[in-house]
């Protein structure tokens, strides 16, 4: 269970960073894969990690942020909207020919969406644009 190793703010941020870095690496694997079988494999792995990551955020990170950060509900709702947007982009990618330029172009846009979202998750306090929020998540 994720909950067993996420006990503090530092744990949460470290957990997010670790998975976000893995996700970024996997995007590069998809982009740089040589040949469609390798690209397909890399894309499957990326989708699996995104699904695992999202589940962990739903179970642990988001509830914790709602509870512990000032304005947490607003921040988490904004992150959920971004995740919804990312999900739609991913669904569109799944329907594309993995060897097409269309796929590559959409993948780059999807990566930018995911990376921007990840950076906001790693710095929850800046999400409101306010310096009045608590510096502590726990
Ligand atoms: Fe997320
Ligand atoms: Fe994330």
Ligand 1 centre distance from Cα of residue 37 (Å): 28
Q: Which of 4, 9, 5, 3 is nearest to 123 (CA)?
A: 9
Question: What pLDDT is stored for residue 136 in this prediction?
Answer: 45
Ligand 1 centre distance from Cα of residue 46 (Å): 14
Question: What pLDDT is stored for residue 50 in this prediction?
Answer: 96
Q: Could you say which ligand is closest to the alpha carbon of residue 118?
A: 2
Question: Domain count of the chain?
Answer: 1
Query: Within a domain: residue 138?
Result: no
Ligand 1 centre distance from Cα of residue 39 (Å): 24
Report whether 121 contacts 61 (CB < 8 A): yes
Domain that holds residue 43: 8-124
Question: What pLDDT is stored for residue 3 in this prediction?
Answer: 53
Query: Within a domain: residue 83?
Result: yes
Question: What pLDDT is stored for residue 107 in this prediction?
Answer: 98
Question: What pLDDT is stored for residue 113 in this prediction?
Answer: 97
Residues of the chain with pLDDT under 70: 1-6, 124-138
Ligand 2 centre distance from Cα of residue 4 (Å): 18
Per-residue pLDDT reduced to its tens digit, 43-73: 999 999 999 999 989 998 899 889 988 999 9
Query: Within a domain: residue 45?
Result: yes
What is the DSSP annotation of 44-74? HHHHHHHHHHHHHIIIIIHHHHHHHSTTHHH
């Amino acid at each position: 269970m994720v909950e067993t190793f996420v006990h503090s703010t530092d744990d949460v941020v470290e957990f997010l960073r670790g998975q976000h870095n893995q996700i970024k690496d996997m995007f590069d694997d998809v982009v740089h894969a040589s040949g469609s079988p390798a690209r397909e494999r890399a894309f499957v792995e990326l989708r699996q990690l995104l699904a695992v990551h999202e589940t962990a955020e739903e179970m642990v990170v988001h509830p914790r942020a709602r509870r512990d950060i000032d304005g947490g509900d607003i921040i988490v709702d904004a992150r959920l909207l971004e995740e919804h947007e990312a999900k739609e982009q991913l669904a569109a990618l799944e329907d594309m020919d993995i060897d097409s330029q269309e796929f590559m172009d959409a993948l780059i846009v999807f990566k930018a969406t995911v990376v921007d979202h990840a950076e906001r998750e790693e710095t929850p306090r800046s999400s409101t644009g306010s310096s009045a929020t608590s510096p502590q998540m726990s």
